[in-house]
Amino acid sequence: MATSMAPYDQWLADKLLSLNPEVDTDVFVMYISSMLDEDSPADEKRESILELLAEVLENDREQVCDEIMKKYDETHNQTTNKNTESAQKNIADQLSDMLEKQTIETVKVKDTTSDEARARKEAILAQYSTVSDEEDDDGPSSRTGASGGAGAATAGATGGASGDPLLMKNTNAESVGQIEKEKREKAKEESDKKKEKDKQDRAAQKQKNVDRKEAEKKRTQKGERRR
């Protein structure tokens, strides 16, 4: 008899030996297990197992057959549940691994992006530093000449006026103030016109009411004279 057996096969061998010590467990266990593994109706399985048990048992064959089939179902269900749990655990582990890898990849992408941004910033600073060094090497005369040229251009653009930034700022402020003042004056003028028109409309309505009352009074007096 094989030294390594499945749990159900081991239980079946022990069960048969307890009923008949002379039974050849290698043969009977193999046949009964193969019958139970077949995809056939339970009645057919039961009939086949009873025929085998009849060769080694004289009594209680039906009871033993029912016990064998019941034990098989319990063991088979437990194995199926374990396999299902194992499969679910494998799926959960795979999902966990996928999420972990995705997180790692996202972190790598962020780090790479940060490195690229840092590299671009350093390149810009290095370029700016180079330009500043070149300007310093040109000397005061170059900067003075450039400033003079820029000042002349500014003066020309403003019609000979000074290129002083403060003066330009004051001029812009005065222009804005003048525009705002004109807006306020225009709004006040329109408001005064509306008030005057409303006043005239009220006076006209009041006169209409007076005329209407006078007309009614005259009609009433004329009617009384006719009587």
- Position 133 in a domain: no
**One-letter identity of residue 226:** R
- Position 115 in a domain: no
Chain centroid to Cα 205, Å, comes to: 66
Residue 104: the pLDDT is: 66
Residue reference for tokens 């006169």 = 207
- Position 163 in a domain: no
Residue 2: the pLDDT is: 44
Number of domains forming the structure of the chain: 1
Q: Are 31 and 91 in contact (CB under 8 A)?
A: no
**One-letter identity of residue 72:** Y
Beta strands in 30-149 (DSSP E): none
Residue 131: the pLDDT is: 57
Residue 142: the pLDDT is: 47
- Position 82 in a domain: yes
Please tell me whether residue 5 adopts helix, strand or coil conformation.
coil
Residue 138: the pLDDT is: 54
Q: Could you count the other beta carbons within 10 Å of the beta carbon of residue 149?
A: 10
Residue 156: the pLDDT is: 45
- Position 126 in a domain: no
Question: Residue 116 burial by CB count (10 A; 0-12/13-18/19+): exposed, middle or buried?
Answer: exposed
- Write out the residue range of the structural domain in which residue 16 sits: 7-93
- Position 186 in a domain: no
Residue 80: the pLDDT is: 66
Averaged over successive runs of 10 residues, the pLDDT of the chain (227 residues) comes to: 71 91 90 89 91 88 92 83 61 73 63 70 73 56 46 44 60 84 91 89 87 86 73
- Position 207 in a domain: no
- Position 54 in a domain: yes
What's this model's pTM, rounded to 2 decimal places? 0.34
